[in-house]
Every structure is written in C-alpha cells, then in structure tokens.
Amino acid sequence: MPSRPPELLPPGTAATPIACLSLEEWPAARDALSRAQGAYCTAVDFTPKAGRIVLLPGEDGTLARVLYGLGETGEDRLVAGKLPGLLPPGTYRFETRDGFDAAEAALAWLLGGYRFARYRTASPSPGLVAPEGVDAAEIVRIAVAVAMGRDLVNTPANDLGPAEIEAAARALAERHGAAVAVTLGEDLARDFPLVHAVGAASPRAPRLIDLTWGPADAPRVTLVGKGVAFDTGGLDIKPSSGMLLMKKDMGGAAAALAAADMVMGAGLRLRLRLLIPAVENAVAGNAFRPGDVLASRAGLSVEIGNTDAEGRLILADALCLADAEEPDLIVDFATLTGAARVALGPDLPAFFTEDEDLAGAVMQAGARAIDPVWRMPLHKPYAKLLDSKVADINNVSGGPFAGAITAALFLRRFAPKTRRHVHLDLYGWNPTTKPGRPEGGEVQGARLVYRLLKDRYGA
Ligand code: BES
Ligand code: MN
Ligand code: ZN
C-alpha cells in the first residue's frame, strides 16, 4: 500500500486555525485570548516552548483554535513538522501574521506527516490548507519528491534491488519526459568495469542508469547517486550490527532522484543528467576479492584493499562518464563512509569541493533549504594514503585516519576535468524522530541542491 502523497488543500477550505507562537510573542498573544481560554492555558501550564500544543474549545465544546509553540525565534525551522503527529484528525490552517514563514511551516508539516506505509496502513494524517500567498505547488512538489526518496530508502532490499532502482528512475523520467539509457549486467564489463565487478556476486544484475532531461544547449548539470541496494560488505563482510541498516546504502541514489524530481518539476533552465550505478554488494564465489586489481573506466588500475569500500568504486566509473562531457557542475550523493558519520553525526552530511565560491553557495543553499551540510577538506597530502604497490591506486587507505577525506580524494581522481564538483557523504537515515524528520529513511542534500541550482540557473 503506497503512502498517501503529500498534499495541501485548496485555500478557503473550512479549517481549524493554528496560531504558531514564539516565546517572545506569548505575553501579547495570551493577553489577546478570551478570559476562559487564557485561564485554560494557565491551567494546563501552556507556554509556546518548541513543540508544545494546546487545543482550545469554543463555546459549544468543539475544537476552535490550536496554539502551537515555536520556541525561541529560529530555534527549529521545521518545528511545525511535529503537528501532524500531535493533532486529532481534521482539517487545519495556519493563522498568518508578520514574521511567521507559512511556506516553511507548510513544508515542515508535509515532511513531518510522511509515513512509510508499504507494508501496513498508516493512520490518516490531518489535512492542511495551503496558506495564502505561498507557492503551494512548489511546496507539494518538494514534499512529494522527498516522500518518493524516503520510500525508496525504507523499502527493504528484498523488494528493492538494482532493477527496482532502475524502475524508479524510469518512472521519474516518464513523468517529466526525460530519456533513460541503461547499461546492464555483462554489458558493463567493457565500459564500466568497476560497476561490473562490484555487482557481479548478486543474482540481481548491476546496471548503470543514465537519465537526461532538458535542452541540449542549456548549462549542463550532472547528479550522481550511489545505488547500492544492499551492502553486505562483500567478502570483507560486515558484522551483523554494521549490516543491519544497509538497505539504506542506496540513499545517495534516492537523494539524487529526489533532487532531479524537484529540478524537472520546476522546469529549471538546465540540461540535467542523472547517473546511478545500481548494484548489490553481495557474497558469492564470483565476488570480487581483497587483493584483486581491477580496471576502471578512467583507465586507472585499482587494487582492492577492502571490498566494503564498494561505493567509491561504482561512483568512480560513473564520475568518469560524467567528467567526459565537462559539465558546468557535478554533484554526487553517497552513503560513502562511516568516518563522515563519526565526524558529523547522522544529521549533517559532509561535503567536499575544491571551488571556494561553490563551497560558500552550498553552505548558503543548505541553510536556506533547511538541509544543512558541513564542509570537509580535500586535503591533498592525504592522497598518498591511497598509494598501491601494484596498481595506480588502492580503494582504501588501510589506516584508521581521515576515512571520509581519503574516500573523497579517491573520487576526485576519476573526475579530474571538472573543478565544480560537490561530493556529499551522507547517512540517509533518521535514527530518531525529530520535527519534519520521521525516524527511518531520509533524503539528505536534495532540497539543498535544488535550491543551489535554482539560484545558479534561475527558474
Ligand atoms: N555504505 C558504507 C558506509 C556507511 C556505513 C555509511 C555505515 C553509513 C553508515 C560503505 O560502503 C562502507 O562500508 N564504507 C567503509 C569503508 C572502509 C572499508 C574503508 C566504512 O566506512 O567503514
Ligand atoms: Mn561498504
Ligand atoms: Zn556501501
């Protein structure tokens, strides 16, 4: 059963008003309440701390108004995302006032109302009326794209292999009139040898998905997403604790698909290309091995120091393809390293780029889109940690240091012509529920990239 798609009801629909209040606004707002309602707030000890709610009855006992706490101004811009889980069934609208960003609150609501309902029905979530004066279609498009990406991450690997990732890309292309070319299975051996090798041990054939959209003469932007449907680690097998969540190892592909959905839905003036190497990193007699030396599309020979560093291998071939046409910008999304998570935790993807202006724009877009990231350095001297004694490069450093940086430096070797390259190392999962971020699969970086592309290339 698919999750109900996010929607906003038409303006003017009868609805219970919600007053979203900051702590600073509370004294004045309380004074403006009726005697009975003010007394009720006092009786239940309501103050508008972030996430607190009070349901106010009218004279007849029906629900008349909701007061909702925003906390300190700017404390959590997604705090309204908790409302769908707090409110009784019904239809609601935000009261508008100066200084309250109703568009942001509506987006938070839709993001927070997401439930993964493929295997059991979720209870219906309350409805929200589109606030006056906002671009409701844009908000819904963003929320729909995020829900699509979250569904992909949440779907377990038994129901989501490389073929289903391809199906998701084809469905997206169909919706937006994009073209899709796929290189499948044994056909990968010559042109995408690393994708071929990583995917070899799975009965579900690996593939390189190549989607293009938009006029050929527009600025070219290429998104690349790591699509590992499940990461056992390969012969360097993960312990059970490390494998448990590895259905989410296609979280980069999900984010890239979601970003592409937003870009195409908005009709941005650019030529978009989306590359997804989709594989399952499995264990079998024909699996690639530690110590193997593999060819790559770029011509560099790669020694396999660890079969669990599979993401950078499949991305290397995809990035080489992206790099060949020297696009204006490459962004890759990948659940690439545990080291990035140790450094920044689950909520803050690491990003890497050599271009200072682009780095600033990425930080800014993340802040505006409430999709935060943090920059880490492409520290060149660490590149020698990837030296191999038998091949051009090793896929791991072997040592314990700077794992996210060496992974990023590895990727850079395969896109040498493109200076404007952003690599995002993300987690793709919310370990616990926070406003607008329900526990489970998460799409990270997509709203940021959409914002960045909108600023850079215009609507
Ligand atoms: N998919 C994992 C990275 C990962 C692990 C992301 C846990 C988020 C949470 C990746 O393929 C991997 O296994 N990376 C290894 C690399 C190591 C072998 C150099 C890692 O980070 O441990
Ligand atoms: Mn791995
Ligand atoms: Zn992986």
DSSP state of 200: T
DSSP 22-76: EGGGHHHHHHTS-HHHHHHHHHTT----TT-EEEEE-TTSSEEEEEEEEESTTS-
From the candidates 170, 238, 375, 434, give the one annotated as an active-site residue: 238
Q: What is the pLDDT along the chain (459 residues), one digit of tens a residue?
A: 455 799 999 999 999 999 999 999 999 999 999 999 999 999 999 999 999 999 999 989 999 999 999 999 889 999 999 999 999 999 999 999 988 999 999 999 999 999 999 999 888 899 999 999 999 999 999 999 999 999 999 999 999 999 999 999 999 999 999 999 999 999 999 999 999 999 999 999 999 999 999 999 999 999 999 999 999 999 999 999 999 999 999 999 999 999 999 999 999 999 999 999 999 999 999 999 999 999 999 999 999 999 999 999 999 999 999 999 999 999 999 999 999 999 999 999 999 999 999 999 999 999 999 999 999 999 999 999 999 999 999 999 989 999 999 999 999 999 999 999 999 999 999 999 999 999 999 999 999 999 999 999 986
Beta bridge partners of 181: 210
pTM beyond 0.75 = yes
Say how far apart CA 250 and CA 333 lie, in whole Å: 10
Bridge partners of 424, per DSSP, are: 333, 351
Q: Quote the ligand 2 centre to 171 CA distance (angstroms).
A: 28
Strands 179-184 and 207-213: antiparallel
CB of 427 closer than 8 Å to CB of 333: no
Ligand 2 centroid to Cα of residue 225, in Å, is 15
Name the residue ranges covered by the structural domains of the chain: 16-134, 142-457
Q: Please identify, in words, the CATH class of the domain defined by 142-457.
A: alpha beta
Residue burial 392-421, b: 16+ Cβ < 10 Å; e: rest: bbbbbbeeeebbbbbbbbbbbbbbeebebb
At residue 204, the pLDDT reads: 98
Give, for 277, the enclosing helix (H) or strand (E). strand 271-281
Mutate which of 283, 308, 333 for ligand 1? The one with the most ligand atoms within 8 Å of its CB, which is 308
Question: Which ligand 1 atom sits closest to the C-alpha of 427?
Answer: 8
CATH superfamily of 16-134: Leucine Aminopeptidase, subunit E, domain 1 (3.40.220.10)
Distance CA 110, CA 114 (A): 7
Cα–Cα nearest to 50, from 11, 8, 108, 95: 108
Please tell me the predicted confidence (pLDDT) of residue 3.
59
248 labelled catalytic? no
Token pair in block for residue 183: 């290189």
Counting from 1 in the atom list of ligand 1, the atom nearest the Cα of 311 is 11
CA 106 – ligand 1 centroid, Å: 35
312 is catalytic: yes
Catalytic residue among 115, 150, 248, 312: 312
At residue 459, the pLDDT reads 64
